[in-house]
Each structure stands twice: as structure tokens, then as C-alpha cells.
Structure 1
Amino acid sequence: MCITDNKADNVFGLELGGKQAARVLRLKLVLERVGVSRSTVYDWMNLNSPRHDPSFPHPIKLSSGSGRCGAVGWIESDLCRWIDSRIAAGWRGRIRTENKSSFGQRGGRAALVATEGDC
């Protein structure tokens, strides 16, 4: 997918023909989006790491560097889907407490209420 140079032809990230333009994020933006360290991201990608996450998106090569050298980036939509899956996994089975008694009353009990998709 190519993004046109003419800004008027690429309004709101859409290419000519109505397709969404793919955005590639470099490591710095990935770290900001995910909120973890560089080493954690590389642990998630390392097959030999105990923290390996096979669902974490693989980067794509951006330059023709040989071996381990060369620029890489992550496709934004892949990263967003991964983040959404982590959010969904974190909210499954989440419980919150609701106070059944009036606020500040002594001896009040809190009830555990299961929530599904509650934000």
C-alpha cells in the first residue's frame, strides 16, 4: 500500500479508492502505546524467553540492512488488535466491589459483582 504525496488525495488516512492507509510505527511509538520497556517487547518476540508472547505482532523490515541490522516497524492496525485482545483478556472475569450499605455506615458489607465488558 502506498500513501500518495498529495495531501489533498490522502484525507483522513484514506488512499485513493477508499482504502485505509497502513501506518507503520517505529519502536519508540510502540513502547509508548504498550507502556513497557524495549527489553519487554523483544522478550515477547523471543522464542527462547519465558515471557514470549506468540500473539504479539511481528515487526516488518523497513530497510535492506543485512542480518540483525536495519530498520523495522510494526503495522499500527496489528498492534491495535493485539492491545484490544489484551484488554479483553484483562476484563474477562473481572470483579468489582459494590457497597450494599449507605456510604460511611459502620458494618457495611461489600458485595462482589462480576462484570463483563464493563468500562
Structure 2
Amino acid sequence: MSNQLIRVKELAKLLCVSDTIIWNWVNPNNRRYHPEFPKPIKISPNVTAWRKSEITAYLDQLAAEQQNPLDKPTSKGQ
């Protein structure tokens, strides 16, 4: 497992979203909060990063869910 860290600007570029969207995804008080999104690591008071391996695993999970949509339970009639 890689211990490489990725900062918010690089992460936002990788995911093709803005820095603000990343911060919204990790903020439980935001309506755009994604509890499944990897949690950042506070390195110092002004430096926050994510483990690249956790981001990769998260993206792999999203891709797998999209390839197997029937594996997810639905709320319609069930």
C-alpha cells in the first residue's frame, strides 16, 4: 500500500472538480457531504492531505458499483 499523500489542489485536478467541492465532500455540515469519501489527514495547522491509496480505492469502488448496478438495493417496491 502506498503512503504517498496528495494535497487538495492536486486531488481536485485529478477528480476534475474544484477545491471547494472536495471540502464540501468531507464536511459533515455541508449538504454535499459524502461520508464514503476518504478523510483527509491534518499534517500541520495549514497543511491537509489525503492518502493516494485511499483515493484510488474509493475510485475503484465507485467504478465497480457503476459496472454492477444490480448489486445495489433499490427503494422502489422493496
Q: TM-score range by the shorter chain?
A: 0.7 to 0.9
* TM-score calculated relative to the size of structure 1: 0.53
**Residue 44 of structure 1 pairs with residue 25 of structure 2:** yes
> Is 1:90 aligned with 2:66?
yes
If asked which structure has higher relative contact order (CA below 8 Å, sep 6+), I would say: 2
Which structure features the higher share of helix residues? 2
Percent identity of equivalent pairs: 27
Following superposition of structure 1 onto structure 2, how do residues 1-119 of structure 1 map, counting pairs within 5 Å?
Answer: 21-63=2-44, 65=45, 70-93=46-69
Q: CA RMSD in A?
A: 1.8
Question: 5+ unaligned residues in a row in structure 1: which ranges?
Answer: 1-19, 95-119
Q: Which has the larger radius of gyration?
A: 1
State the match for 2:74 in structure 1.
none
Q: Residues 21 and 91 of structure 1: is their aligned pair in 2 closer, same or farther, counting only changes over 3 Å?
A: closer
5+ long unaligned stretches in structure 2: 71-78
